[in-house]
Amino acid sequence: MKFGILQFFSWPERRVPLPTVYARALQRIEIMDRGGYDAVWLTEHHFSDYSVCPSIPVMGAHVAARTKRLRIGTGVTLAAFYHPLRLAEEIALLDILSGGRVNWGAGRGFDEREFRTFNVPMSESQARFREAVDVIMHAWASERLTYNGRFFSFDNVEVLPKPLQQPHPPMWVAAGSPEATKWAASAVIQSSSARMEHMWRSASNGNVTATG
């Protein structure tokens, strides 16, 4: 059995300076590393003191430099808000800098304020999220990417770097229904195809994810 912790960067009532929030979180993460935990899952949120970590790759690189064995999970990157090739590059770079310790988690997001501020219609969140994940998985699996989608199209683009873990870091998708869980599993299958050595699927409680 493996244990991981979901690490928020909450700033309740702004009682202490924000750098103190980060310092305390990093102290906890170093204790996890020494104590034998499997992973820390870093949360991403925007425009709120609910959790002040707008960039998991930046925070993850800092965590990688301060730990030796702890896996670094993105819990989760809000893929609907990103250009997928930029996200593919940043997660792959983090995987290299951490020595292959990344668990990549992706989700749609739920905060209306974030969608409104990023000018992304919530009605498009599912479609944007799924396409972004599909682009990223193909970008990692292909030497050069050609892709034609609803929101993004690319012609013969070389996306570098590739992740250190091959064919890709373990992938987790935030899912709130059996249908979403089935999509998560099929996305991994379709993108990794014959290169994927194994895949794990679970619909337990409708919120566990696919990894491979």
Q: How far is CA 12 from the centre of its chain?
A: 25
Instruction: Note whether residue 100 is domain-resident.
Output: yes
pLDDT, position 177 = 80
Range of the domain at 89: 4-206
DSSP-derived 3-state class of residue 87: helix
pLDDT, position 74 = 97
Instruction: Note whether residue 132 is domain-resident.
Output: yes
Instruction: Note whether residue 212 is domain-resident.
Output: no
Q: Torsion over CA of 170, 43, 54 and 68, rounded to 10 degrees?
A: -60
Instruction: Note whether residue 197 is domain-resident.
Output: yes
β-strand 153-157 against 145-148: which pairing, if any? antiparallel
Instruction: Note whether residue 87 is domain-resident.
Output: yes
* Number of structural domains found in the chain: 1
Residue 106 CA: distances (Å) to CA of 1, 30, 64 = 23, 24, 19
Closest CA to 204 of 173, 183, 169, 176: 176
Instruction: Note whether residue 189 is domain-resident.
Output: yes
In angstroms, rounded to a whole number, what is the distance separating the alpha carbons of residues 207 and 174?
A: 6
Instruction: Note whether residue 211 is domain-resident.
Output: no
Instruction: Note whether residue 152 is domain-resident.
Output: yes
Total residue length of the chain: 212
Q: Which two tokens stand for residue 202?
A: 């679970």
- Please report how the helices 125-141 and 84-97 are oriented relative to each other, as an axis angle in degrees rounded to 10: 50
CATH code of residue 62 = 3.20.20.30
Neighbours of 185 (CB within 10 A): 20
Walking along the chain (212 residues) 10 residues at a time, the average pLDDT comes out as 96 97 98 98 97 98 98 96 98 98 95 97 95 96 97 98 96 84 73 35 37 36
In angstroms, rounded to a whole number, what is the distance separating the alpha carbons of residues 81 and 84?
A: 9
In angstroms, rounded to a whole number, what is the distance separating the alpha carbons of residues 54 and 78?
A: 10
pTM of the predicted model as reported, rounded to 2 decimal places: 0.87
